[in-house]
Amino acid sequence: MVGTKCKTCGKVFFPPRSVCPHCRRNGKIVEYKCSGKGEVLTFSVIHSASDQYAAMKPYVLAIVELEEGTRMTTQIICEPEEVYIGMPVKSVFRVLDREGTEGIIHYGTKFVPNLA
Amino acid sequence: MVGIITYGAYIPRYRIKVEEIARVWGGNAAEITGGLGVIEKAVPDYDEDTATFAVEATRSALCRRIVDPKEIKAIYVGSESHPYAVKPTSVTVGEAIGATPVMTAADYEFACKAGTAGIQTAMGLVGAGMMNYAIAIGADTAQGAPGDALEYTAAAGGAAYVIGNDDPIAVISHTCSFSTDTPDFWRREGADYPRHGGRFSGEPGYFKHVIGAAKMMLADMGTKPSDYDYAVFHQPNAKFPQKAAARLGFSQDQIKTGLLVSRLGNTYSGAVPLGLAAVLDVAKPGDKIFITSYGSGSGSDAFDITVTDAIHDKIDRSRGPTVDAMLADAKYLDYAVYARHKGKIKT
Ligand SMILES: [Zn+2]
């Protein structure tokens, strides 16, 4: 997982940002490799979903806080009854979205339980 | 010496039992399981495909040993289930590991041996001094038409190999191949599922090529089967590799560590790379490994591999999941959910 870090204030951004919202012009943005590890801050279970996600429902959508402190909204790949607040998770590479059967396939980061 | 710098494997978590597939199609579960020697197979999640397997396997390899991604100058992904007909999987991997843009990349296809063909290409580039590291990946989410014999075994997974010169964990001393034009299994452009020549295609296909390449390797190296600690053969079912091993003079003991098909199914281009990964998970310095892949159409690639001290000193195998651990972490599906996973039923 590659994000960015502001060298001025130390904040880490994922998805990567090219401008630090705190330091603005004084921020110095560099590439930063995140550990990909974090925990679930809060979550909800999605029962009704649009066509392309219908096969996956119910699925878990959560806000994850990474070890580096940055937060992101993401899918947790697990059964709805498995997830809990504070659950340790780690990033995985998955399909985020397929544009029908003929369009682009978008790949990116999701999370799975990291209980081992 | 050219060899394996590090390696990683990926097997999805879901499984379906052969008896569950047989139940739906009215097949005799005991007969089918007994005939194939396959009990269950790995199934991808909705949001997994060959590209995600390839990325996860490669990241696992890079967790086990630090390799500067900027020094990786080539990536080859062998598969017969690339997510796109036109648009390379290999650049998706390159981007995900930070190796782009100063690299070459291509996707390979040769039925089930596309992954080992990638290893040969990587060996050539590294051996010629054109680059320090090249990556070869074999991964598939194999397709079998509903109700077809292939559906009982067509599985999902893959493994990645970083090939290089400095301190390899295993030296690849030699590789050789045996290839002919043999129509035993094929899929035409635009067709969803492959077709095959049926049960009599084993002899002119699998056995002729596997035995051909393996004998060539033994002759080239001046070795005999008992010189090796492990042997891995392509495994479309459990019967074929056991029979090929017996005919060549390898024992069942030599092949058991790398024979994953009973619990994994046939992962096509992923099969031999995953079998080798299972061996590397437990191998000790000095162990000798004999490899022969097979791709329908047809061809076999053989490799003579010797594990070095670097497997203890230069790599932390515990930083990536072992094949055995991933096989043990299984969640079982019934046929209805499995069919949705595979997109056999459009929802
Ligand atoms: Zn800042």
Whether A41 has a pLDDT exceeding 50, the answer reads yes
Q: Are residues A50 and A103 in the same domain?
A: yes
**pLDDT value of residue B280:** 98
Contact residues on chain B for A94, CB-CB shorter than 8 A: 45, 47-48, 52
Please give the Cα distance from A39 to A104 (Å, whole number): 31
Domains with residue ranges and CATH for chain B: 3-168+323-341 (3.40.47.10), 171-310 (3.40.47.10)
Distance A29 CA to ligand 1 centre (A): 8
Q: Are residues A48 and A26 in the same domain?
A: no
In sequence order, the 6+-apart residues with CB closer than 8 A to the CB of B280 are B4, B7, B169, B170, B307, B311, B317
Please give the Cα distance from B265 to A92 (Å, whole number): 23
Number of folded domains that form chain A: 2
Contact residues on chain A for B340, CB-CB shorter than 8 A: 55
Q: Are residues A91 and A109 in the same domain?
A: yes
Please give the Cα distance from B60 to B261 (Å, whole number): 22
Distance A20 CA to ligand 1 centre (A): 5
ipTM: 0.91
Q: Are residues A62 and A98 in the same domain?
A: yes
**pLDDT value of residue B102:** 97
Q: Are residues A47 and A65 in the same domain?
A: yes
Under a CB-based contact definition with an 8 Å cutoff, are residues B10 and B56 in contact?
yes
Question: In the annotation, is B56 catalytic?
Answer: no
- Of the pLDDT bands very low, low, confident and very high (cuts 50, 70, 90), residue A116 is low
Pairing label, strands A2-6, A29-33:
antiparallel
Q: Are residues A17 and A41 in the same domain?
A: no
Q: Which position among B48, B56, B82, B112 bears the catalytic label?
A: B112
Contact residues on chain B for A2, CB-CB shorter than 8 A: 98
Whether A52 has a pLDDT exceeding 70, the answer reads no
Q: Are residues A66 and A104 in the same domain?
A: yes
Question: In the annotation, is B112 catalytic?
Answer: yes
Question: Do the Cβ atoms of B59 and A77 come within 8 Å?
Answer: no
Q: Are residues A46 and A85 in the same domain?
A: yes
Please give the Cα distance from B178 to B208 (Å, whole number): 9
For A16, the domain range is 2-33
When computed from its CA atoms, the radius of gyration of chain B, rounded to whole angstroms, is 19
Q: Does A94 touch chain B (CB under 8 A)?
A: yes
**pLDDT value of residue B346:** 42
Of residues B46, B56, B83, nearest to A92 (C-beta): B56
**pLDDT value of residue A57:** 79
Contact residues on chain B for A115, CB-CB shorter than 8 A: none
Q: Does B139 touch chain A (CB under 8 A)?
A: no
Distance A12 CA to ligand 1 centre (A): 9
Q: Are residues A56 and A94 in the same domain?
A: yes
Q: Are residues A29 and A70 in the same domain?
A: no
- pTM for the full predicted model: 0.94
Per-residue pLDDT 10s for chain B (347 aa) are 999 999 999 999 999 999 999 999 988 989 999 999 999 999 999 999 999 999 999 999 999 999 999 999 999 999 999 999 999 999 999 999 999 999 999 999 999 999 999 999 999 999 999 999 999 999 999 888 888 888 999 999 999 999 999 999 999 999 999 999 998 888 888 888 888 887 668 999 999 999 999 999 999 999 999 999 999 999 999 999 999 999 999 999 999 999 999 999 999 999 999 999 999 999 999 999 999 999 999 999 999 999 999 999 999 999 999 999 999 999 999 999 898 887 755 43
Q: Are residues A87 and A58 in the same domain?
A: yes
Q: Does A22 touch chain B (CB under 8 A)?
A: no
Q: Are residues A6 and A44 in the same domain?
A: no
Q: Name the more confident of B186 and A92.
A: A92
Which tokens in the block code for residue B222? 């001046």
Question: Do the Cβ atoms of A105 and B56 come within 8 Å?
Answer: no
